[in-house]
Amino acid sequence: MSKKVSSISRRSLLATAGAALAAAPLGANLLHAQQGPIRIGMSMPQTGGLAGGGKASLLGIEIWRDDVNAAGGLLGRKVELVVYDDKSSASETPAIYSKLIDVDKVDLLFAPYATVPTAPIMPMVKQRGLLLIGNFSFQVNSKVGHDMWFNNAPWGPADSWATSFLDIGQKAGGKSMALLAADQEFAQNLAKTAREVAAKRNLPVVFDQAYPPATVEFSSIIRALKASKPDIVYVASYPPDSAGILRAVNEIGIGDNVKVFGGGMVGLQFGAVMENMGSLLNGVVNYNTWLPEKSMYFDGTKEFFDKYTKRAVEAKIDPLGYYLAPFGYASGQLIEQAIKAVGSLDQKALAKYLRENTHKTIVGPIAFSPDGERKETAVLQAQFRGVVDKNMEQFRTSGKQVILFPDNLKSGELIAPFEAARK
């Protein structure tokens, strides 16, 4: 009972406080300090297959929390994160989010990293009419149709990914495509859109294979792919496999007619993998979300990475953190701007604001389409160049991954064919 009373009074206090904020910040801070922090709840994969990404993403969010708290918090209240481990599994998240909503009574929800843990909570947040900031899940809202969902990932429309890669390939003279995808959730979704785009463009698919998880050796599969003599090779793979595939490509060769190779290889964004792969990376055109190219620095980006680099070492996570961490930070910025503009924690109002405006973040301006995905894709396609072995620091400099797409962020031209780009 007492809880209910306090939450009602909290809300009414908020309204007054919001108005008073601009006029008397110091007084407001005192007032709100007694109210307790704004609590943001989420699950995050910290064990299991998605843990690597989950931990990096969480660190990004934590840096945002510390920044915002250092600047006095939101609505004069401190921001606090309530985070549970979902073990990378879909079966854990419903109970966790119920705990966050019903027991912890958090003020706002962030989604866990990746599609699998996010999918089961979508119907729940829709039913309860709650705002949810998505975290790199793929087309998880397309069937549910929740209008208070906003994905921080730069994916954009479902097919934009395949479109941009095939554009690059076709411009380089590619007339046929080979498709190699992991038999897992994300990769299969990518493969599906790639097939659709290829069909639309009458681009023949000369090789189309799904390889099973935990495949050890890719030599034979690459050999078969090579035998099909494709011009464009689109690969949708997961971290352990991406390395195996690249090794096999390097050892077996892929043929002189291949113009571009890559596209959807997860793992080639993570520092440890990139360092280990070293020169094997050269020539690969792969998707990315953020890269240290001049065009990618926005307000606060550099400061963020300064902080991240320091803290990642202690936390034993990805030292580069390009892929997920800045977007975790951006999730915070989205909510920060919405709360500041709306002046309350009213979820409907926050969602309306998020839907209708363009938001400035450290990963560039973000605007949403009605389904809660980015209006325009901001997925980069970049080519690895001049990478040497066993050197983590090289990836912090520009020019190692030249951005080919999108046009407004472009930092160089494709070198084709693939074998030429490897030298």
> Interaction with another protein in 57-96: which residues (CB under 8 A)?
83-87, 89-92, 94-96
Rounded Cα–Cα distance for residues 124 and 278 (Å): 44
Supply the minimum distance, in Å, between the C-beta of residue 298 and another protein.
27
User: Is residue 400 at the binding interface for another protein, with CB under 8 A as the rule?
Assistant: no
Selected range binding another protein among 50-58, 282-290, 360-368, 378-386, rule: CB under 8 A: 50-58
Binding to another protein in span 112-131, by CB under 8 A: 115-116, 119-120, 122-123
What token pair was written down for 40?
Answer: 């943001």
Name which of 41, 44, 37, 46 is nearest 68 in CA terms. Answer: 37
Q: Are strands 285-288 and 380-384 parallel, antiparallel or unpaired?
A: antiparallel
Question: In terms of CB distance, is 4 or 356 closer to another protein?
Answer: 4
Binding to another protein in span 295-334, by CB under 8 A: 316-318
What string marks each residue from 135 to 174 as x (binds another protein by CB under 8 A) or -?
-----x--xx------------------------------
Question: In terms of CB distance, is 167 or 196 closer to another protein?
Answer: 196
User: Is residue 257 at the binding interface for another protein, with CB under 8 A as the rule?
Assistant: no
Binding to another protein in span 183-222, by CB under 8 A: 183-185, 187-189, 192, 209-217, 219-221
Residue pair 245/235 in contact by the 8 Å Cβ criterion: yes
Binding to another protein in span 217-256, by CB under 8 A: 217, 219-221, 223-224, 227-228, 239-240, 243-244, 247-248, 250-253
Backbone phi, then psi, for 256, in 5-degree steps?
A: -75, -20
Binding to another protein in span 362-391, by CB under 8 A: 389-390
Residue pair 218/147 in contact by the 8 Å Cβ criterion: no
Residue pair 362/330 in contact by the 8 Å Cβ criterion: yes
Residue pair 374/334 in contact by the 8 Å Cβ criterion: no
Q: Categorise residue 105: left if φ over 0, alpha if ψ from -120 to 50, beta otherwise.
A: left
Supply the minimum distance, in Å, between the C-beta of residue 240 and another protein.
6
> In what order do the strands lie in the sheet containing 108-113?
79-85, 38-44, 108-113, 132-135, 149-151
Binding to another protein in span 261-280, by CB under 8 A: 267, 270-273, 276, 280
Binding another protein (rule: CB under 8 A), the pick from 22, 102, 356, 393 is 102
Supply the minimum distance, in Å, between the C-beta of residue 287 and another protein.
18
What token pair was written down for 336?
Answer: 């920060």
Supply the minimum distance, in Å, between the C-beta of residue 38 and another protein.
20
3-state SS class at 231: coil
Residue pair 141/167 in contact by the 8 Å Cβ criterion: no
